[in-house]
Amino acid sequence: MKAGVYFTGSGPILILTSYDSLTNKSLVTKLGSKGIRKFIAYEVPVRNVRKRYGAHYEATMSDLKQEDDLRVLDYDGHHIFLEFSLKEFRKPIYFE
């Protein structure tokens, strides 16, 4: 499992994925089908996401309506910025 904060044209989103990278071809295709064709992504430790999001993390992971390989945990950019320090973001990944 990987977690990433994706900065998109409409703001940051926090995604959980079972793909091996935040730019896996299949993941990028799925993001593209949702209108996300360009982004800057930062991997964040899953353990930190789980700790900060608690019950919401567990509910998202058990939501059968979401696909197993891509789960949007948070799409409120303000909330994401409150939960994470920019120092936690790893090396940026640019995708265009």
pLDDT tens digits for range 43-78: 999 999 999 999 999 888 887 566 668 899 999 999
User: What is the pLDDT, as a whole number, of residue 16?
Assistant: 94
Q: Which of 51, 40, 31 is nearest to 8 (CA)?
A: 40
User: What is the pLDDT, as a whole number, of residue 65?
Assistant: 61
Give the Cα-Cα-Cα angle 96, 36, 64 (nearest 5 degrees).
135
User: What is the pLDDT, as a whole number, of residue 35?
Assistant: 94
Q: Quickly list DSSP for 11-46.
A: EEEEEEE-SSSTT-HHHHHHHHHTT---EEEEEE-H
Predicted TM-score (pTM) of this structure: 0.89
pLDDT category at 88 given cuts 50, 70, 90 is confident
Average pLDDT over residues 21-37: 95
Q: Which residue has the tokens 């608690």?
A: 54
How is the chain split into domains, by residue range?
2-95
